[in-house]
Every structure is written in structure tokens, then in C-alpha cells.
A = this chain, B = another copy of it.
Amino acid sequence: MTKKQLIMEKAIELFAEKGFEATSVQQITDECGISKGAFYLTFKSKDELILALIDYFMMQFTSDIDYVVKNTKNKEDLLYKFYYTIFNSFSKHADFAKILIKEQIRSFNEEFLQKSHIYDQAMDKIILSMVERLYGDEIHQTKHDVMYCVKGFMKTYAELFLFHNLPLDLDLLARSLVEKTNVLARNITIPFISTELVQLLHQSKGKEATKDQILELIEQNINEIEESIEKESLILLKQQLIEPALSPAIVKGLLENIRNHTQCKWTSYLLRDYFEVL
């Protein structure tokens, strides 16, 4: 394990237990068995650490969910797999999930807020696309309400098992929430979240990643990565991004090649979104 990983791991534990502001850099370094100076060789500041943690987990998290939603062919399984994947990630990375819920909307610094917003909107988009696919146009009026209810279920039930360390029956939880979501989506008629409201919500907020930003990210990945298959896939995807030439099947296959590499997950999510691979 690198020093960076060690710091991130111990920091997650401490932040989850005591909160970000209540945890000092000294406590983190003590826990890691390193000096304070060593910490500042790895991270420029305490803020940079929390930002790195958010990126690290949220990129994985978001892209995993996106992959499941985009690649589950069978509509019957879709919702189940969605909830199962979400809560599975929550329980695997319980400490990070706790931080996410605890430190929510706190206003540390502008960058933190912006980041939270970007991931939040990415998740909204994924859930909304799932809702649209599942229930079609007949719930056009209520789709945003359904989306917010799904988010509400996620948050409420996550808190339940994260902060009371209860035994978690993932299968039952997923089935139970699938039923709730279906029941809601198929029966509600009074939307609260109208299209105008959504526009008000989204105006003046973060925008999508640009082609240039994705290119930069790929460049970075290419330099970091050793494995030849992943590296070549990235190079081809980069060319495809600059000048489309490959067939959708090839693009999809290339994306498949990189999606399980930790450092590429986010790139793969952005590319799926960009190429609109279904």
C-alpha cells in the first residue's frame, strides 16, 4: 500500500467516527505511524485530502451504478440490481458513506460544494434515465418526483443501517425498495416537482465535462497505467474522441476493457456519457 492510500484509509475511518473538522492532521498521522511532514509531502492541505477522498469514492461509486443501469438488459432486473449495487457499495465503503451523509451540504469551501453538486447531478441523471426506461413516457409528469423518492429511499434506508450497525439483508432490502418504487411510479398522479422547478434547480449549477477535459483525463490515465490492454484501449478511445472512426461495438468493447481499472472508472463513465453507449 502506498503512503497516499494509507493516509486516505485511516483518514476515512477517523472522519467517519469524529467528523472532518473534529479530526486533526496530527491524529491522522499518528494513526498512520508517520510524521506530520510526511502528510504534507502527499497532500498540500487537509482540504486537498477530503477532496481527494470524495473524488476517489464518488467516481467509483457513480460509474459503478451507471454501468449497472446502462448494461442491465432485462428491465425486470434493473431496479433490483440498482438498489443492490447501491447498498452493496454503501456497506462495503461504510465509513465513506457515513462521511457523505454526515458532512452533506456543509460549506467548508466552494470547491467541496461544487464537487458534491457535480456528483449529485450525475446521480440524478442516472436515476432519471433508469426511471424513464422503466416506466416509459406515461409517467412523464411524475418522473422527477419518482427520482427524488428513489433518492429519499436510498438516504433513509442507508442511514438506518449505517448508523445503527444492524445486520443487513441486502436481498430483502433491494426487493423491498423495488416494490416501493414500482408501487409509487405506477400509481402517483400529483407531481410536485414540475419541469419548471427542475429548471430552477439546475440553472447556474455545474456543467458537463467538456471533450477537452475528457481528453486531458485520458492523457493522464495513459501515463499512469502499465497494463497494455487498458493502455491501448485508452489510446484508441482518445483517437475516437478526436475523430470518430470506430463502430459502436468496438467503442463499447474498448470501454469494457477499461471499466474495471480503478483509475479508469471515471473516464469510462464520462466516455459512456459522451458516446451515449446504451
Residues on A facing B (Cβ under 8 Å): 17-19, 21-22, 101-102, 104-107, 145, 148-149, 151-153, 155-157, 159-160, 163-164, 166, 169, 172-173, 175-177, 179-180, 183-184, 187-193, 197, 200-201
A176 neighbours in B (Cβ, 8 Å): 145, 188, 190-192
Q: Which residues of B contact A160 (CB under 8 A)?
A: 148, 193, 201
Find out whether the CB atom of A192 lies under 8 angstroms from the CB atom of B173. Answer: yes
The reply to whether B155 and A155 contact each other, CB–CB distance below 8 Å, is: yes
List chain B residues, Cβ under 8 A from A175: 190
Whether A180 and B172, one on each chain, are in contact in the complex, defined by CB atoms closer than 8 angstroms, is no
Whether A148 lies near B157 (C-beta < 8 A) is yes
Majority secondary structure, A binding face:
helix
Task: Report the nearest B residue to A154, measured CB to CB.
Answer: B152
Do A200 and B152 touch across chains, with their CB atoms under 8 A apart? Answer: no
Whether A156 contacts B148 by the Cβ 8 Å rule is yes
Q: A105: which B residues are within 8 A, CB to CB?
A: 101-102, 159, 163
Specify how many copies of this chain sit in the oligomer: 2
Given the interface pairs A102-B105, A106-B19, A107-B18, the reply to whether A177 lies near B201 with Cβ below 8 Å is: no
Contacts of A187 in B (CB 8 A): 183, 187
| 3 A-B pairs with the lowest CB-CB distances in the bound complex, closest first | A152-B156, A176-B192, A152-B152
**Distance between Cα atoms of A153 and B146 in the complex (Å):** 11
Can you give 8 contacting A-B residue pairs, CB < 8 Å? A17-B107, A21-B22, A22-B107, A148-B156, A155-B155, A160-B193, A173-B192, A179-B188
Name which residue of chain B comes closest to A201, CB basis: B164
Q: For A148, what are the chain B residues with a Cβ–Cβ distance below 8 Å?
A: 156-157, 160
Query: What 20 new A-B contacts, CB under 8 Å, besides A149-B180, A180-B188?
Result: A17-B107, A19-B107, A102-B106, A105-B159, A145-B176, A145-B180, A149-B152, A151-B156, A152-B152, A152-B155, A152-B156, A155-B155, A155-B156, A166-B200, A172-B192, A175-B190, A176-B188, A177-B192, A183-B188, A187-B187
Residue in B156, B173, B184, B200 whose CB lies within 8 Å of A180? B184
**In the complex the two chains form, is A104's CB within 8 Å of B107's CB?**
no
